[in-house]
Amino acid sequence: AQSVAQPEDQVNVAEGNPLTVKCTYSVSGNPYLFWYVQYPNRGLQFLLKYITGDNLVKGSYGFEAEFNKSQTSFHLKKPSALVSDSALYFCAVRDGGSARQLTFGSGTQLTVLP
Amino acid sequence: NAGVTQTPKFRILKIGQSMTLQCAQDMNHNYMYWYRQDPGMGLKLIYYSVGAGITDKGEVPNGYNVSRSTTEDFPLRLELAAPSQTSVYFCASNRPGTSGIPTDTQYFGPGTRLTVL
């Protein structure tokens, strides 16, 4: 069975500093990886995905993620954090099923301090 | 487009009561999903549907039922509410790509916060 792990429940970073939210995965075949963001009292929003190709994936709101096959990681990054980036971030892996079900990590709360 | 809508936003149930969580999407998406979100646990898939009349169990289906009579609606039914079902429930949808296989971007509703006492 596939799984994702987000080792940090909470990440704090100062505004303007770079941020990293960590994710590691375990799959039996090719990994299909995603990042979603959840703002308070809202549903999840898609940020970016890795299916194949370049290891550095660019997404919405200036976020990017680096796929590292040897370390089975897919860390989310942003060069300069904004206070408005404060939210709950989920890493996910796609199921091999035909309906494209997702398996989510436990989430990381990002707080950007002014 | 309204996207994915869910009602109600909040609900408190007593043990043993039943209720239906409503989910609708106006994007003509074939694929729909129900997740529950527990603190520190991420999202778990309850049921999913690949089209009208077709549903299947996800990771945590016990205590729930679904139906999909139309493309737009995907209600989730709790027959005998239990405290373990206290959670936030999210509905999501996904559209087929050009080859008919679903894309990888799920669209989520705002959620229903359910408390069972």
Among residues A12, A3, A7, which one has the least CA distance to residue A110?
A: A12
The residue type of A42 is: R
What residues of chain B lie within 8 A of the CB of A99, using their CB? 31, 33, 48-50, 56, 94, 102
Task: State yes or no: cis peptide before B61, omega within 30 of 0.
Answer: no
**The pLDDT of residue B102 is above 70:** no
Quote the distance between the C-alpha of residue B57 and its chain's center: 12
Cα–Cα nearest to A6, from A70, A65, A80: A65
**According to the model, what pLDDT value does residue B100 have?**
59
In chain B, residues with a C-beta closer than 8 Å to the C-beta of A51 are: 104
Residues of B in contact with A32 (CB under 8 A): 104
For A37-90, write each residue's pLDDT tens digit: 999 878 889 999 998 788 999 998 999 999 999 999 999 999 999 999 999 999
* Cα within 13 Å of Cα(A81), Cβ side: 21
pLDDT confidence of A34, banded at 50, 70, 90? very high
CA angle B89, B104, B34 (to 5 degrees): 20
pLDDT at position A102, please? 85
Backbone phi, psi, residue B92, to 5° = -140, 160
CA distance A53 to B78: 43
CB within 8 Å: B106 and A106: no
